[in-house]
Structure 1
Amino acid sequence: MSAAETALDGPSQVSQAGLDPLRSEARDVSGPIVLLLAGLAAIGTLATNIILPAFPRMAAELGLTGTQLGILLSSFFLTFALGQLIVGPLSDRFGRRALVLGGLATFLAGSIIAAQADNLLWLVLGRVVQAMGACAASVLARAIARDLFQGETLGRVLSLTMIAGAVAPGFSPLLGSVLVDLSGWRVSFLFVALCAAALALLYMRRVGETHPVEARSTLALGSVAATYRFLLVDGRFLLPALSVSMVLGGLFSFFAAAPGILMGQLGLTPLQMGLSFAATVLIVFAAGLLAPRLARRHGDRTTGLAGLIVFAAGALAMIAVASQPSYLTFTAALSIVLFGMGLINPLGTAIALQPFGRQAGSASALLGFLQMGSAAIGSTLASTMPFSPSVSLAIVMMATSVGAFAVFYPVYRDPPRR
């Protein structure tokens, strides 16, 4: 059998070859597992959002421009995107444990480098090392979920993970503003280093290895390339993955534009910006709780499409208020965007990963690459377009909503035959 055929046939073969005891619809979805998966998935976003309120003080202390501060975001996203393509196949070959613990250790080291930086070069280096570790955590959060769960349960776990994971990026700007006011911007990097250490301890105590030896794939370059190639041409993966990635690209463009809009245009203090971010957690909570229930009643594809329609409605609202935003109008439009994103993100992710059991690590890695690639593009555009931050963000949001709907609609129209 060729490498290409192996890549295509692997999921069905493995599901019949001994993984069913691990992946059960009835498997207990415990709090510690959800907490771990949420922490692994959110550690990269936490490390990004917690420093947003510190940008003005970083700029003043290190003599940085707005464009240079943008490099802290784009360099992180680019490294994050590329690193996942390496981590995924490694975890499929050698298991999850070594990659999880190694990634968290790398993230911790990068956080310490950034905390001690006294110029842009060392700060960017620390962020790049952070991203190398965070990409492993993010890839393996999805892969571990796919190792342990399947079907409707997988969608529910990803929804719960998204809900719990939203707490970290939602409240991190508020926490970051408090830390900046009390101790300066460097302590934010030390805080996320402690979070990585706590996640490593939780992983070792409660989960451990989830990818058994008999289920592991080869690491030959041809086999890895074949896996990625056939994932990229398989519409079951590519279409929902692209849709979710575009939505995430829009979200990260908001992260990049938020300081300019909330503090620059609307005059909020760092603490007020942090409170504003924290309020958005409630929206993500609501969407995350509704997503699996709506999917159970109406189907995952129908619910996902509804989420994209809501996302597009929020983008249109952003376009309408972009020229003269107020805090109320901007927040209202953003709330609609976040609610739609909260519906499509876990369901689209589950749809993309569900058919690929043996290649869960590689599929998760490729999905993460597409997501972080979109995040890098979205954040760069939002930071560099020759318009006000609110107008730039509205343009990026509208473009991502149209693109995400266009690639997901065929998934909705052509569900898989059971």
Structure 2
Amino acid sequence: MIKRNKHQQQSADVTSGPQRELTGNLLFLLASFAALGALATNIILPAFPQIAIDLGASIKDLGATLSSFFIAFALGQLVVGPLSDRFGRKPLVLSGLAIFVLGSAVCAMANTLPQLITGRTIQALGVCATSVLSRAIARDLFDGDQLARTLALIMVAMAAAPGFSPLLGGAFNSLLGWRATFGLVAGVAVLLAGYYLIRLGETHAQDHRTAPSITAVLRGYKRLLLDRRFIAPALTVSLVVGTLYAFFSMAPAILMAGFGLSSLDLGLFFAATVFVVFGAGLSSPRLVRRWGQVAVARAGVVIALAGSIGLAVGPENFLCFCLFLTVFLLGMGIVNPLATAIALHPFAANAGAASALLGFLQMGCAAAAITVGTSLSLSAYASLGVISATALSAAFFAFLATK
């Protein structure tokens, strides 16, 4: 029997060189990593009325479970990215999933709103690792058009999760109660950890790792923030994602109180939006081959802006509301993967840090949009003006982006 030396054993699960073939197993894993955070975010939305009753809180107060999640999610990524560049992706993925399971258990056993907020914060600090590292792993393995295609498919999954999760959460709430939803997401995390160990493992080679100090990390983030190649597309996609999550936070009040939808109807509505995002994401690589990444991304953000303005005007009937939302989701589905690929492409050497900062900007914009939209003393429709303003800002940065 041939014995491997120590170096070979240490690098046995490290992919040697960029992997040019995107397999179904790899795509499923990276998409699941990206979608887990979104799944955990929106799965409790249909249960808000019951949670409010059980915990003695108002539905408006439950908005803190979303904003706290996004804030912790955003800040946690800034730590995870550089650590993964130093120690590899594997230990951060596994520890992140373990922390997420712990947070889910705290949520499931919560008897007060502060306890639920604490559990949600722990959840976010764990699941931020899989979200940021799904992009970093993709950058480890792919380059050029293949990277753009991979990120497009990953972003489709990430954008689809908020659509399907309320339907899943509504079903679990009706059958088993809202606490069971946290058991569900914890079980998904455990399964993903096992699948990751079996199918992929480490992708960041030992000789590519760096050991930066805190000062060096901060200096690296500063360079990224000042680099137009990164910051323009990063702010574009972050503001668009922030717009999407702001809409999801306002949707229960608009659709359930305004249009009279039930919790099941709300779940079905969100699920239907997935097909728009899915179609837009799948079409973007074809559009890129003809017109280029930057041009298509700019077109996507303009389409999203048009839809958001329609929503802010305040459609008088449900059909018009759905029409404007479809336009917005179509543009968002196009710009999301393309702006992500444009932002990450020039930074292969520090993909973890670049992905972390991008994730921080996305969740930061989401938290800000949700906080502003829910704190203003406006009607549900008037608060949609926040969405339009955010989308307008995204369009501004889209036209600053370069190839």
* Structure 1 length-normalised TM: 0.91
Check whether the contact 1:90–1:219 (CA below 8 A) recurs between aligned residues.
no
Structure-1 separation of matches of 2:329 and 2:18: 30
Structure-1 separation of matches of 2:312 and 2:158: 28
Q: How many correspondences in the alignment? A: 390
Task: Find the counterpart in structure 1 of residue 376 from structure 2.
Answer: 385
Q: Which moved more, 1:358-367 or 1:168-177?
A: 168-177
Please give the secondary structure, in 2, of the residue aligned with 1:410: coil
In the TM superposition, residue 378 of structure 1 has moved relative to its aligned partner by 0.9
In the TM superposition, residue 20 of structure 1 has moved relative to its aligned partner by 11
Match of 1:397 among 387, 390, 403: 387
Alignment of 1:295-374 (within 5 A): 295-320=288-313, 322=314, 325-374=316-365
In the TM superposition, residue 68 of structure 1 has moved relative to its aligned partner by 1.6
Find out whether 1:23 has 2:14 as its counterpart.
no
Match of 1:265 among 254, 258, 276: 258
Match of 1:237 among 205, 230, 255: 230
* Unpaired stretches in structure 1, ≥5 consecutive residues: 1-18
Deviations 1:169-191 (A, max 9, x none): 22111111111111111001110
Match of 1:171 among 164, 185, 192: 164
Check whether the contact 1:35–1:164 (CA below 8 A) recurs between aligned residues.
no
User: Match of 2:387, as an amino acid?
Assistant: M
Task: Find the counterpart in structure 2 of residue 46 from structure 1.
Answer: 39
User: Match of 2:399, as an amino acid?
Assistant: Y
Structure-1 separation of matches of 2:50 and 2:316: 25
Structure-1 separation of matches of 2:278 and 2:152: 9
User: Match of 1:157, as an amino acid?
Assistant: T
User: Match of 1:284, as an amino acid?
Assistant: V
Q: Which moved more, 1:306-315 or 1:381-390?
A: 381-390
Deviations 1:50-79 (A, max 9, x none): 100000000111111133201000000000
Structure-1 separation of matches of 2:267 and 2:312: 24
Please give the secondary structure, in 1, of the residue aligned with 2:289: helix
Task: Find the counterpart in structure 2 of residue 15 from structure 1.
Answer: none
Alignment of 1:214-225 (within 5 A): 214-225=207-218
Check whether the contact 2:163–2:270 (CA below 8 A) recurs between aligned residues.
yes
Structure-1 separation of matches of 2:157 and 2:248: 19
Match of 1:200 among 188, 193, 202: 193
In the TM superposition, residue 21 of structure 1 has moved relative to its aligned partner by 5.5
**CA shift in 2, pair 1:386/1:150, >3 Å:** same
Identity fraction in percent: 51
Please give the secondary structure, in 1, of the residue aligned with 2:347: coil
In the TM superposition, residue 167 of structure 1 has moved relative to its aligned partner by 4.0
Check whether the contact 2:15–2:205 (CA below 8 A) recurs between aligned residues.
no
Deviations 1:297-320 (A, max 9, x none): 110000000101100110121123
User: Match of 1:253, as an amino acid?
Assistant: A
* Structure 2 length-normalised TM: 0.94
User: Match of 2:63, as an amino acid?
Assistant: G
Deviations 1:360-388 (A, max 9, x none): 00000000110000010111122122111
In the TM superposition, residue 161 of structure 1 has moved relative to its aligned partner by 1.3
Give runs of ≥4 in structure 1 deviating > 4 Å: none
Check whether the contact 1:253–1:381 (CA below 8 A) recurs between aligned residues.
no
Superposition CA RMSD, Å? 1.4
Structure-1 separation of matches of 2:205 and 2:213: 19
User: Match of 1:66, as an amino acid?
Assistant: I
Structure-1 separation of matches of 2:161 and 2:193: 17
Find out whether 1:408 has 2:398 as its counterpart.
yes
Find out whether 1:375 has 2:370 as its counterpart.
no
Q: Which moved more, 1:92-101 or 1:195-204?
A: 195-204
